[in-house]
Amino acid sequence: MKRYISNLNGNEKVIKTDVLIIGSGIAGVYTALCIKPHINITILAKEEIDISNSALAQGGIAVSLGEEDSPKYHKDDTVYAGAGLSDEEMVWIMVSEARKNIQDLCNLGVNFDMKKGNLSLTKEAAHSQRRIIHAGDFTGKEVCDKLIAAAEQKNNITMREKTFAIDIITEEGKCRGAVVLDQKEGRQIIYECSHVICASGGFGQLYKNTTNPTVATGDGMAMAYRAGATLTDLEFVQFHPTALYHEKNKSFLISEAVRGEGAVLKNSRSELFMEKYHELKELAPRDIVARAIFSEIQKSGAECVYLDITHKDREYLKNRFPKIFATCLEYDIDISKDYIPVAPAEHYCMGGIKTDSLGRTGIDNLFACGEVACTGIHGANRLASNSLLEGLVFGHRISQEINSAVKKTKNGTPVTRKSTTKWGSFKRPRSEYEKEIKDIISTHAGIIRNGIGLKEAKKRTGAILGELSDSRCRSMAQCQVLNMATIARLVVSSALKREESRGAHYRNDYPNPQESWKCNIICTRKKVNDETFEFND
């Protein structure tokens, strides 16, 4: 694997900024808004500025506001869902700083649903209290829209669309910027800066069925890995139990909040089944609900199960879940009287770039937050509606670190470099590689795994990387394929290493959790062609 996959000729345009943020979701834009106004910031969006996983988030944001709730209870629920691997110190930081960051969103004009003058609270799976604030069933879009609108008014923030980050530039162990493909101009550009914040999202597009947008190809994790950053917990991939299952749409999310408001799951024979799998039934942790649905589908031979919320009033459903109600109607499903066909789909990766409590990655001046980062909060299984909160809390923490540390970028020795690598061409069409990666990962690193399949997946992803290792990435699509192959190899290697079942990682050849595996699997790249795994107790 090459350290850099960009191919520079030494004549690239260089743009200077103080802070470069890769990603335009909630984590990236909120961080920018928290940075002092005298610091110049550039936000890069791979596609349009409003396309991100954040914008698709339906359910809401968890925060302990109820009279009977407390940050301690929120922490306890998070740690329980994390199946023994959550970093409790990091969890406490998140839950104890939640309220302030939510107030900041309200001050920016985010229109959360209200009830009797207070923020309306709902309940989701594995939460012991009603603590999910929401904006209908399009919370992520409402928050993103307001954050982007606020950023557009800031003179120190520049947002650039269709700019794809290819490589993080490092010199002597310090991050100095990034190589970026400007898709509008069709050329590579070097951004030189004092700090880079990676907020590029997850890797859902490794799977055939995912609730993630097409931009979620693991680019940030792959860039950071090539640069020498540590990745951790990549084997823990969360499948949302209830994605719409329709021949025309298998990626639309049916929010967990629907079950939080009383919806029940039924199999193809219209039988309730969750009580067989967990005492919390429909509100059990996501990994348990997803495996229960998977099991029912396998036993019946059906393609899906059904979500039933027909006991709720039609007007209530239209008002509480407007996006879900309208989308289902497009497919002739009236959720007030029809069951909703659902099946699990990849939704969120708990692992990512390892960071500390200030978002630092181990590479000087490189930070990460949001789904691309691994703070250790989610452990082996993310608690519902903690993802947006994590991005807010740690994005704010990164901003405070940058506010005290950043120095204006000055003219100096440019970071421009020439590529000395002799590049070849892709041996097969890019689409063939992408299809093969999706087939391998969906088959062998899905909801249920085993050693035989994971060994096969490791062999095949290794072969793909071998084919791509000397290839010139002439386009964003080709860079994405190389990034997908890199992360796919690390996911299956990590899953193969973990010889137990824990949280979202389930192996039918090791079906039980083991105390000896109560540790993190760390992926590091210490040398140019070295892939090393370490274990942290």
State the amino acid at position 244 in one-letter form. Answer: L
Catalytic residue among 176, 226, 259, 286: 286
Stated as kind and residue range, the H or E segment containing 340 is: strand 340-349
Sequence-ordered list of residues with C-beta below 8 angstroms from that of 531, at least 6 positions apart, any chain:
489, 490, 493, 523, 525
DSSP state for residue 406 in the 8-state scheme: -
Q: Which residues contact 520 (CB under 8 A, 6 or more apart)?
A: 85, 232, 233, 376, 535, 536
Contact 144, 334 (CB under 8 A): no
- Rounded distance between C-alpha atoms, residue 26 and residue 3, angstroms: 29
User: What is the C-alpha to C-alpha distance for residues 59 and 384, in angstroms, rounded to an integer?
Assistant: 8
Pairing of strands 237-244, 340-349: antiparallel
Residues listed for the chain: 537
Residue 233's identity, in one-letter code, is D
C-alpha distances in angstroms, 418 versus 52, 408, 462?
33, 26, 28
Asked about 286 being catalytic, the answer comes back as yes
Cα torsion 490, 493, 496, 497: sign: negative
CB 536 within 8 A of CB 522: yes
Cβ contact 231:215 at 8 Å: no
Structure-token pair, residue 195: 């700090």
HSE, CB side, 13 Å, CA atoms: give it for residue 325.
17
Place of tokens 């027909």: 310
Instruction: Give the active site residues.
Output: 286
